[in-house]
């Protein structure tokens, strides 16, 4: 099974940093950015060679010639190289040009056949292979991708959290859904977890905020899109930052300790966690009581032949809870997630009453 040993090989005093342009555009552009990132906290230089686009007609990458540019960048700067691969052909070319890190993108992770194909070509490889989360918030797909790589005896595996698509409008390009990577990491605690704030935010002015959130959650590294002239970039211009901004970002970010061995810290933490445990038990009791009332409501509806779902009532409850939550310092996003889950469980309880 893969472990963090490959990350330890970097002997870093800070989180791993992967940076570079969204897309390799020209040889001059690739070399300019690589040299600008040399002698910084960046360990791995990334560039998109093949760009999967949602619709045809957009810039889909320069292809194999970009790998030659990357080789030259490595020769001149010493930076390791990373590219995205979406099929076996991409992998074979990346290996031919001795690319150090291969990442599987979000659109590829959703396809188990594609992940399996890539895993088989990389079987027993010594390359670092990073798996981005699937586009949609499906933890099982992400887990399945990791397991396919592990079964191929790939020694150096990591995962990248780049956010999830959603129909709901949020301030993010891809909603982070932090609980999903946290759950994945609890299942694979030895896999390095890297955050991609560029794709989560879609906006350069939010990258520091999300990067700090990731470090606060003890992520192992960051992948940040960087371009010498972001506004002129051929793809994803709005989410790229300059090398100068990236360097300042490293200065401003705060890296947290994993733990503190002092007696005072342990005492305070134990006390607060005990309070949390007690409140969690009370929450379970309150939710169980609420579902008993939902059962009773289901019985009344069944006797009067009234439909389970009452949209007007549900919208009224949601508006009221959002307002109450905001007054108590709870975000609208959290209230929506919480009460949608409660509402769905209430419907399940009422439907069971109808079936009996």
- Top mean-pLDDT range of 67-71, 167-171, 268-272, 303-307: 67-71
Give the least confident one: 56-70, 102-116, 320-334: 56-70
Query: Domain spans of the chain?
Result: 5-252, 263-355
How much is the pLDDT for 58? 72
- Across the chain, what does the average pLDDT equal? 93
Q: Is the pLDDT of residue 56 over 80?
A: no
pLDDT-derived band at 46, boundaries 50, 70, 90:
very high
* Span 322-350, average pLDDT: 93
pLDDT-derived band at 13, boundaries 50, 70, 90:
confident
* Span 34-47, average pLDDT: 96
* Span 269-297, average pLDDT: 93
Q: Which CATH architecture has domain 263-355?
A: Up-down Bundle (1.20)
pLDDT-derived band at 94, boundaries 50, 70, 90:
very high
Each residue's pLDDT tens digit, 199-233: 999 999 999 999 999 999 999 999 999 999 999 99
* Span 267-273, average pLDDT: 88
CB 230, CB 22: distance < 8 Å: no
Q: Is the pLDDT of residue 1 over 50?
A: no
pLDDT-derived band at 265, boundaries 50, 70, 90:
confident
| Partner residues linked to 342 by β-bridges | none
pLDDT-derived band at 291, boundaries 50, 70, 90:
very high
User: Quick one: what percent of the chain has pLDDT higher than 90?
Assistant: 85
Greater confidence (261 vs 202) lies with 202
5-252: in CATH 3.30.420.130: no
pLDDT-derived band at 261, boundaries 50, 70, 90:
confident
Distance CA 85, CA 92 (A): 10
Would you say the pTM of this structure is higher than 0.85?
A: no
* Span 99-115, average pLDDT: 97
How much is the pLDDT for 4? 60
The count of other CB atoms within 10 Å of the CB of residue 1 is: 9
* Span 183-208, average pLDDT: 96
* Span 122-144, average pLDDT: 95
């Amino acid at each position: 099974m893969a472990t963090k040993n490959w990350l330890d090989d970097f002997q870093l005093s800070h989180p791993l940093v992967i940076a570079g342009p969204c897309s390799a555009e020209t040889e001059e552009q690739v070399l300019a950015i690589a040299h600008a990132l040399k002698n910084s906290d960046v360990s791995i230089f990334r560039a998109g060679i093949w760009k999967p686009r949602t619709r045809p007609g957009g810039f889909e990458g320069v292809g194999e010639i970009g790998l030659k540019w990357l080789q030259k960048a490595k020769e001149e700067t010493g930076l390791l190289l990373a590219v995205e691969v979406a099929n076996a052909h991409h992998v074979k070319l990346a290996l031919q040009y001795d690319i150090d890190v291969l990442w599987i993108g979000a659109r590829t992770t959703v396809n188990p056949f594609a992940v399996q194909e890539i895993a088989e070509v990389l079987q027993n490889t010594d390359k670092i292979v990073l798996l981005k989360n699937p586009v949609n918030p499906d933890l099982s797909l992400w887990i399945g991708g990791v397991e396919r790589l592990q079964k191929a005896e790939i020694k150096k595996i990591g995962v990248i959290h780049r956010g999830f698509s959603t129909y709901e409008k949020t301030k993010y390009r891809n909603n982070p859904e932090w609980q999903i990577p946290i759950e994945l990491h609890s299942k694979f605690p030895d896999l390095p977890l890297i955050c991609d704030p560029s794709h989560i935010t879609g906006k350069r002015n939010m990258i520091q905020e999300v990067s700090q959130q990731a470090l606060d959650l003890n992520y192992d590294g960051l992948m940040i899109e960087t371009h010498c002239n972001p506004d002129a970039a051929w793809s994803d211009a709005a989410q790229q930052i300059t090398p100068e901004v990236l360097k300042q970002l490293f200065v401003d970010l705060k890296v947290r300790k994993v733990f503190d061995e002092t007696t005072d810290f342990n005492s305070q933490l134990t006390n607060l966690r005990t309070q949390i445990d007690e409140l969690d038990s009370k929450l379970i009791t309150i939710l169980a009581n609420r579902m008993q009332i939902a059962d009773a409501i289901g019985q009344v509806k069944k006797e009067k032949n009234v439909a389970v779902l009452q949209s007007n009532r549900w919208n009224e409850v949601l508006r009221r809870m959002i307002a109450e939550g905001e007054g108590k310092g709870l975000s609208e996003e959290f209230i929506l997630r919480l009460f949608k889950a409660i509402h769905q469980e209430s419907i399940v309880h009422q439907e069971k009453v109808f079936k009996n």
